[in-house]
Structure 1
Amino acid sequence: MLVANVVQENAPSNASYTSHEIQKEILYIFSNKVRKEICQEIGNSKFCTIVDEARDESKREHMALVLRYVDKEVCIRERKRNDELKEAQTIEVATKIANGELEIGRGLNQIGTLKRARDTRWGSHLDSISSLLKMFNATCVVLSNIAANGGDANFALNQLLSFEFVFTLHLMKDIMEITHLLCIALQRKSQDILNAMHLVSSTTKLLKNFRDSGWDDFLVKVKLFCEQHQIDIPDMNAQYIARRGRSRSHHNEISVEHYYQVDIFLATIDYQLQELHSRFNDHTVELLVLSTALDPRNGFMLFKIDDICKLAEKFYLNDFMEQEPVRLRIELQHFELDIPNHPELQELSGIHELCQGLVKTRKSVISPLIDRLIRLVLILPVSIATTERAFSIMKIIKTKLRNTIEDHFLNDCLTVYIEKEVVENLAVIQS
């Protein structure tokens, strides 16, 4: 009995859990509890599913899944399963350099330093590219020093000093400068949807103008940069020869200029235009614009009963019973006279605060259909940046030295790592 007591007292301090199987079982239990907790938190509430692709260190594609819903405290939640997105090689090179020795500018008499790519990647990529172009010579010096000291930097240096890399870098910078305002607008937590839609239109026009009339000036700018940094410029009239690993049949008897203009310049801009059109087609724009009729800012200035009824009937018809659209209009008529003058519902900054205010004042009980419609609008993923907002942790868990992690184990790791808040709450409840 005495031995048993001693063992039980010392067991917690002696337990090291070095067995991989035990570690995986514990991780599975925790991740399973996290998933169950999220399911319980959602309950019978409506939720939106956002899906994107993800790529791990071993180049395997994964599905990134985000659940967006309104919880019991009337807060918008986004639960993520995976969020590492495929990035262009030039950005990856720029990011690695930005995270390396140039961060402190060591050994160089330079005022600026390359900027680190942050978790919200749209804005930071533009900063990283602009910084890399500004400090191009300094970057080459650092890579040369690393290579001379035995470091594996020759490949990065050769890529950096190639015409194609410089061409691509300038193209990405120019495109990102055009789309920058739209990207910033879409990443704001409190979004001005009407102005964002106007930015979609102006961004599309600017990209088309750049596509149709920007080639000559762009090529001159790239050539000038190459001359300033002693980078070889290919003969644009020569026949293009595909590098090893690329399909040669497509590039038969085309000039170097044709390759850069058609296969890179025009193809990249066309892809951006197609993405804008697919994400913001007429159907989507109408949905977003109609939803602004519920925006409480500026004393419900945008409030329009007809637009709100059209929103419910056209886009959320399956969420309302046959007679409920008629009742919704009546609720809205009372809402228009009552809510804007309610002392506790003044100076609201967004639809989410309106939803919280209706619950707090119990107006959600009197106007359940309006409350239902507002919650449906709240889970609408109005920002195309939603899957980019989470800090990318795929490469933290699955590294080059640890690139054989099986899928189930990786998913459990990601679930626990991403949903730290849920894990901490579980730990508090258990204790």
Structure 2
Amino acid sequence: MSFKNVHDDGASNDNRGIAASLIEKMENYQFVFVMYLMRRLLGITNELSLALQQNDQNIVQAMRLIEAVKVQLQDLRETGWEAFLEQVRSFCEGNSIPVPNMEDHMRIRGRSRREGQVITHFHHYRVEIFCEVIDLIAQEMQNRFPETSTELLLLLSCLDPRDSFSKFNIHKLLRLAELYPEDFTMTERMMLEDQLATFIYDVRHDPDFINVGDLGGFARKMVETGKHIIFPLIYRLIELALVLPVATASVERVFSAMNIVKTDLRNKMGDEWMNDSLVVYIEREVFATIDNEAILQRFQKMQTRRMQLPPLSLTHMPHISSTNAGIGSSSSMHK
């Protein structure tokens, strides 16, 4: 049911009044302007948001999407204003919504009439809304994906086994090892260069690695073939490469799950309890494989408790004989 129907056929004056107020606010140029802007920005960032929330991430594809979003945001800010403004104007005129003259003046919001400070509609919509919102998103992108993190992910992509390790680059992988000085000593980094040259020749000519399509499968195949022992430094790099995408995905999934776990009714939830709840919610597929009885017994054994928790199912109940229960024995009957 539309607001128009509520306004015309509402059962009470309150409902009709609320509907009329909402219609008035929606049939406003600024409302349309903001909605078009949000639609455009969400359209630009949608694919990246979905990609970062996937459990199995393609690092190369994620990096391309990050760069694509940054470029599109910058292009929209610098060259997209006129086309965007025309879209908003066309919609408003088609729906009989008044369009302000961008050169006319308007009072600054939050200022009293006595102060008399005014700005143009152009300044309000172009600078205070259009550019400011784009700049906020661009800054957030920069904070979440700084150059150092982007470089790290691009270096990790050199271990991608697809297309016969087409992204493999010894110099970039050596740079990756330099970013982890606590995991690779100076001597090990010198040894790593020789290992990488031998390693890439070996796996490109090994039929066991022809159909490997992702880094996780690559690591498993190395263990199955024993190459993790022959090339321990390279296997260490792969372990690091497997950890980072999981951390990135977890961060994105946490932000999405936080609004579900920490509701208005749980707004005083402590950090530790919230973290535990988020882990259980986000990794619910993993926790679904754990038997509830095992969780109950784990909880029971954490510390001495005043009472023993009963088992969840009869299969875990201890066998009780009729003798022990005192059922049917002559002594119990005499008692």
1:220 aligns with 2:86: yes
Alpha-carbon separation, structure 2, partners of 1:251 and 1:341: 78
Show CA shifts across 1:102-121 (max 9, x none). Answer: xxxxx6xxxxxxxxxxxxxx
**Are residues 1:231 and 2:94 paired?**
no
The corresponding residue for 1:372 is: 236
2:33 to 149, 157, 167: 167
Q: Deviations over 1:98-139 (max 9, x none)?
A: xxxxxxxxx6xxxxxxxxxxxxxxxxxxxxxxxxxxxxxxx5
Q: 1: distance between equivalents of 2:106 and 2:111? A: 12
Q: Give secondary structure in 2 for the equivalent of 1:320.
A: coil
The change in CA–CA distance for 1:222 and 1:428 in structure 2 (over 3 A counts) is same
Secondary structure of the equivalent of 1:254?
strand
1:91 corresponds to: none
1:298-377 alignment runs, 5 A limit:
298-313=163-178, 315-377=179-241
- CA displacement 1:78-106 (0-9 Å, x = unmatched): xxxxxxxxxxxxxxxxxxxxxxxxxxxxx
Q: Is the 8 A contact 1:186 1:383 kept in 2?
A: no
* Residue 107 of structure 2: aligned partner: 241
Quick check: 2:52–2:248 contact (8 Å CA) kept in 1? yes
- Greater RCO (Cα-Cα under 8 Å, separation 6 or more): 1
CA drift at 1:187: 5.0
SS at match of 2:105: coil
Please tell me whether the aligned partners of residues 162 and 231 of structure 1 are also in contact (alpha carbons under 8 angstroms): yes
Query: What SS class does the counterpart of residue 319 from structure 1 fall into?
Result: coil
Counterpart-to-counterpart distance in 2, 1:301 and 1:187: 26
Cα separation, 2, equivalents of 1:415 and 1:185 = 20
Give the Cα–Cα distance (whole angstroms) in 2 for the partners of residues 344 and 146 of structure 1: 71
- Matches of 1:194 and 1:308 in 2, distance apart? 15
- Greater CA radius of gyration, 1 or 2? 2
Amino acid in structure 2 at the alignment position of 1:268: V
Q: Does 1:407 align with 2:270?
A: yes
**Residue in 1 that maps onto 2:149:** 284
Shift of 1:262: 0.4
> 1:208: which partner in 2?
74
- Superposed displacement of residue 394, structure 1: 4.5
| 1:301–1:319 distance in 2 versus 1, CA, 3 Å | same
Report deviation, 1:382.
8.3
Q: Give the alignment of 1:415-426 within 5 angstroms.
A: 416-420=280-284, 421-422=286-287, 425=290
Indicate conservation of the 8 Å contact 2:57/2:245, yes or no. Answer: no
8 Å CA contact retained: 1:240, 1:255: yes
Contact 2:47 2:65 in 1 (8 A): yes
Counterpart AA for 1:316: Y
Taking the aligned partners of 1:284 and 1:404, their CA distance within structure 2 comes to: 32
Structure 1 residues 342 and 144: alpha-carbon distance in aligned structure 2, compared to 1, 3 A threshold = farther
Structure 2 vs 1, CA of residues 235 and 156 (structure 1 numbering), >3 Å: closer, same or farther?
same
Per the TM alignment, residue 222 of structure 1 is displaced from its structure 2 partner at its CA by 1.2
Structure 2 counterpart of 1:263: 128
- Could you tell me how far 1:294 is from its partner in structure 2? 0.9
Equivalent AA in structure 2 for residue 204 of structure 1? K
Cα shift readout 1:266-324 (whole Å, capped 9, x = no counterpart): 111222333344444443333222222211111122222232122112x1122113321
Q: Which amino acid aligns with 2:200?
A: E
- State the 1:408 CA deviation: 6.4
Tell me by how many angstroms 1:373 deviates: 1.0
Q: Please identify which structure carries the higher helix content.
A: 2
| TM-score normalised by structure 1 residue count | 0.56
Distance in 2 between residues matched to 1:403 and 1:157, nearest whole Å: 34
User: Relative to structure 1, is the Cα distance of residues 201 and 392 closer, same or farther in structure 2, using a 3 angstrom cutoff?
Assistant: closer
| 1:99-248 mapped onto 2 (5 Å cutoff) | 139-141=2-4, 144=7, 154=19, 156-183=22-49, 186=52, 191-194=57-60, 196-243=62-109, 246=110
| Conservation of the 8 A alpha-carbon contact between 2:159 and 2:215 | yes
Q: Aligned partner of 1:219: which letter?
A: L
User: Structure 2 vs 1, CA of residues 257 and 270 (structure 1 numbering), >3 Å: closer, same or farther?
Assistant: same
Cα distance in 2 for partners of 1:393, 1:153 equals 32
Work out the number of aligned pairs and report it: 290
Identity %: 33
**Cα distance change of structure 1 residues 395 and 377 upon mapping to structure 2, 3 Å threshold:** closer
Aligned-partner SS, 1:240: strand
Q: Distance in 1 between matches of 2:279 and 2:53?
A: 24
